[in-house]
Structure 1
Amino acid sequence: MEMYSTIERCFTRHGDKKYGEFVTQRQHALQCAMLASQEGSASELIAAALLHDIGHMLDQSMGSTEPDYDLMHEVTGAEFLNQWFPKGVSEPIRLHVVAKRFLTGNDPAYYHTLSPASKHSLDLQGGPMTPEAQKQFLEVPYATDAIQLRRWDDQAKESDLDLSLDLADFRELLESLVIRETA
């Protein structure tokens, strides 16, 4: 299936690179998907957890590595995945950065749980949301899924976690969610 081989290539080329955290992109993606799976989440949300940062890998494929501005990896990733997956996968991915802004605006203590790299990117992404923006965000479809994805995203940065999972363990799940295959 083209979808899986394309995603697998992204992970093969860029999954073992670190991106400002203490884990590789592959470790982070697998930990995030594992957390979603352990909570009994819907298949679409597990896939979103696994693929939420694929935009970083795509940015690297295009030669973009500049850490001092926001590359909008969430938009890049969501648009890339839209060619195969339903909105239940792509929209939480598109919104997971905005969800960080929501969480830091809604709960000031949340900011202190963020890694230094995540705090830096928060500044680049506009900082915490205002109360009015928070209300508007909660009305957006998939906002609550994005908030949950964001929480897993922040937890999935354990460098010493021994994972027995790999991308192939999620192949069947990903293939079951494909709604269209590109030519």
Structure 2
Amino acid sequence: MHFSSAHIIALYQQASHRIHSGEHVTHLAHAWQCGRLAEKSGASLELQLASWLHDIGHLWAHPGAPVTDAAVKGHAALGSKLLEPLFGLAVSEPVRLHVLAKRYLVSTRPSYARKLSPQSLKSLTHQGGHLSEDECADFERHAFFAEAIQLRVWDDLSQKDGWFEITIQDALDQLEGLMQSVADQCVT
């Protein structure tokens, strides 16, 4: 099956009332919050879209089901694979790297782990835990290192219960408009 923007909207519509990975927000609220933080920070349209869609791998692999520990590890790579043909590397690479960014931040900033939710700390184990010094150095050389780090920070801040300022349909319309804008840039 060919993956499309319509599939993305349908997945987020299905997940609009499902709780995100044991946190206190729905998948749609988490995606909206992350995208909103990117927008407020003046991020590029591509990074805003990556922020919205960083967990699309969870929704594609397990539509209608809660995210399990076994599903945590591969969601970033799956999401990246789905998004690259539609939106290019500027969207897919930060998505692919956002889990590695968490591992990097835990490894390089001792205070970072104290700010993670209990669920995020639990998933860290399934995602590979701390990086070695060599792995950190390799990650720092990646072309999308800075974008992945920024996305990770917004991801961690996007778990606020009650911060969903618009309707579900308005959020989906925002996402659809952003996807169209990024797709238009990819064509030109």
Matches within 5 A, 1:25-44: 25-44=27-46
Give the match's secondary structure for 2:29. Answer: helix
Larger helix fraction of residues: 2
Q: CA RMSD in A?
A: 1.9
What letter corresponds to residue 93 of structure 1 in structure 2? V
Matches within 5 A, 1:6-21: 6-18=7-19, 19-21=21-23
Report the Cα offset of residue 3 of structure 1: 3.1
Report the Cα offset of residue 93 of structure 1: 0.1
Of 173, 176, 180 in structure 1, the residue corresponding to residue 178 of structure 2 is 173
**Match for residue 47 of structure 1?**
49
| Structure 2 residue 36 is the aligned partner of structure 1 residue 3 | no
Query: Does the CA-based 8 Å contact 1:59-1:65 persist in structure 2?
Result: no
TM-score by length of 1: 0.90
Label 1:161 to 1:109 Cα distance change in 2 as closer, same or farther (>3 A).
same
**Match for residue 66 of structure 1?**
68
Report the Cα offset of residue 64 of structure 1: 8.1
Q: What is the aligned-residue identity percentage? A: 34
Give the match's secondary structure for 1:166. Answer: helix
Label 1:62 to 1:29 Cα distance change in 2 as closer, same or farther (>3 A).
closer
Of 16, 21, 24 in structure 2, the residue corresponding to residue 22 of structure 1 is 24
Q: Following the alignment from structure 1 to structure 2, what is the Cα–Cα distance between the partners of residues 86 and 41?
A: 16
Label 1:8 to 1:162 Cα distance change in 2 as closer, same or farther (>3 A).
closer
Q: Following the alignment from structure 1 to structure 2, what is the Cα–Cα distance between the partners of residues 65 and 170?
A: 22
**Match for residue 130 of structure 1?**
132
Gaps of 5+ in 1: none
Label 1:85 to 1:117 Cα distance change in 2 as closer, same or farther (>3 A).
same
Label 1:60 to 1:83 Cα distance change in 2 as closer, same or farther (>3 A).
same
TM-score by length of 2: 0.88
Deviation readout 1:110-133 (Å, 9 max, x if unpaired): 001000110011011111212221
**Match for residue 150 of structure 1?**
152
Q: Following the alignment from structure 2 to structure 1, what is the Cα–Cα distance between the partners of residues 13 and 114?
A: 33
Q: Following the alignment from structure 1 to structure 2, what is the Cα–Cα distance between the partners of residues 93 and 169?
A: 19
Report the Cα offset of residue 61 of structure 1: 2.6
Gaps of 5+ in 2: none
Query: Does the CA-based 8 Å contact 2:55-2:76 persist in structure 1?
Result: yes
What letter corresponds to residue 14 of structure 1 in structure 2? A
Of 159, 162, 165 in structure 2, the residue corresponding to residue 160 of structure 1 is 162
